[in-house]
Every structure is written in structure tokens, then in C-alpha cells.
Structure 1
């Protein structure tokens, strides 16, 4: 059987994927220097 028929047609879900969120630099200016930014903030 050819390789293209053995591969999944719909792709896959990466178990090691990370979720990213875009943040403008202007929004980070409200914090003081050295402050740790976490997702909860």
C-alpha cells in the first residue's frame, strides 16, 4: 500500500502543544521593572 494512503487524512493533535496568547507591549508597561508576569495576572 502506498505511503500517502497509510497516513491519516485529518492530521493529528499534538499532546505537547502549548497555548499562546498575544499581548501588546504597552500593556506590560503598567508593571514595575523586575515584576514576574504570570498567566494569572
Structure 2
């Protein structure tokens, strides 16, 4: 059974925010992740 999507997204967003804070170049990866999430929605 997969974890609840909203919980997974919440964790992912927190991880994304932390990653961007440490490494601004990670923003492109975050944007790709967001685009993939929109496709799945």
C-alpha cells in the first residue's frame, strides 16, 4: 500500500525547500518535480 499522497507531497515539499536553501541550483530539480506532480494530478 502506498503512503497517503498528501503526506508524501508534504514531506517532499519540505525536503525541496531545505535543498533549495542549501543549493539554489537545485531549484531546477524542484521545478521538474513540481511539473511531474501537476501531470500526475
Which is richer in helix?
Answer: 2
Query: Could you say whether these structures have the same fold, taking a TM-score greater than 0.5 normalized by the shorter chain as the test?
Result: no
Higher relative contact order, chain-length normalized (CA < 8 Å, sep 6+)? 2
Normalising by the smaller structure, the TM-score range is: under 0.3
TM-score between the two structures when normalised by the length of structure 2: 0.21
Look at both structures and tell me which one has the larger radius of gyration over its CA atoms.
1
